[in-house]
Structure 1
Amino acid sequence: MKKYFYIRSALSVILLMHSVVSIFSGDVNNFGRLYLDTIGFSPFGIYLAWIVKLIHLFSVFLIWSDRWVKIVSVGNIPILMLGIYFLHWQNGWYVVGGGTNGIEFNVLLICCFLQLIFTEYPSLKKVKSSS
């Protein structure tokens, strides 16, 4: 069994749903044009939105195939941190319950990715030679 199977599975499902749904619904275009462009990223808002969604989508397949998991984690953490800064911070901590659209979910995802970064993978360890 792969290390941290449940964390990797949860991250994969979350990234898959977050990317695929917004791509097919057209929300990624709206996010780029109607939000990112208006907060100062114009004329690159739509491109940034697509880059984020494609990184999330490709991350799913890399996590499932156990390839470049640390790089995927390092790539997704800044996206989540920028999401906290630009979108969620002003809404407080809670996603639901004590508030809406807060930072708690992003913080949890960042912690999950940090776990993957600091996990030792047997294939990456150097084999000690016996002398």
Structure 2
Amino acid sequence: MKQNFYLRSALSVILLMHSVASIFSGDVNDFGRLYLDTIGFKPFGLYLAWAVKLIHLFSVFLIWSDRFVKIVSISNLFIMVLGIYFVHWKNGWYVVGGGSNGIEFNVLLICCFLQLIFTKYPYRNRENRSW
């Protein structure tokens, strides 16, 4: 994990905190039942919410183990784009300051995952590949 060390570290912390905090607080269940179900995902809202949180959680370990980094990045990029569309777009740009719950943080995360996708990884051997 020599390439993009600081970027991967920051993304790992963000994904870890975003997943673990909502899992232990029960917010993931509320998001699934009280939000996703009400915007048309019923009866799958709860399952989608858990899928998102588990993808975030497993992404941390895959990023740190330097495995499937591109697949992890594409998966999280997809989640971030859907998050903008379904949750954050209506709140504008700003997360804090000029507004709240906006898209600015998701845009930054999307750019970070794009950097991981388009980074060329040297392949020393088949076992140490970052797909």
The two structures have a TM-score, normalised by structure 1, of: 0.93
Number of matched pairs: 125
Taking the aligned partners of 1:99 and 1:51, their CA distance within structure 2 comes to: 29
Q: CA deviation at 1:64?
A: 0.7
Q: Which residue of 2 aligns with 1:103?
A: 103
Letter in 2 for 1:16: L
1:58-97 paired onto structure 2 within 5 Å: 58-97=58-97
Percent of counterpart pairs with the same letter? Answer: 82
Q: CA deviation at 1:123?
A: 1.0
| 1:124/1:105 CA distance change after superposition, 3 Å | farther
Q: Which residue of 1 aligns with 2:57?
A: 57
Runs (5+) with no aligned partner, structure 2: 126-131
Q: Which residue of 2 aligns with 1:16?
A: 16
More RCO (CA 8 Å, sep 6+):
2
**Secondary structure class of the residue paired with 1:115:** helix
Letter in 1 for 2:50: W
Taking the aligned partners of 1:14 and 1:4, their CA distance within structure 2 comes to: 15
**Secondary structure class of the residue paired with 2:70:** helix
- 2:2 is aligned with 1:2: yes
Q: CA deviation at 1:78?
A: 0.8
Taking the aligned partners of 2:53 and 2:110, their CA distance within structure 1 comes to: 17
**Secondary structure class of the residue paired with 1:123:** coil
Runs (5+) with no aligned partner, structure 1: 126-131
Q: CA deviation at 1:2?
A: 1.1
Name which one, 1 or 2, has greater alpha-carbon Rg. 1
Q: Deviations over 1:63-88 (max 9, x none)?
A: 01111100100111110000000110
RMSD: 1.2
Taking the aligned partners of 1:61 and 1:71, their CA distance within structure 2 comes to: 13
Q: Which residue of 2 aligns with 1:112?
A: 112
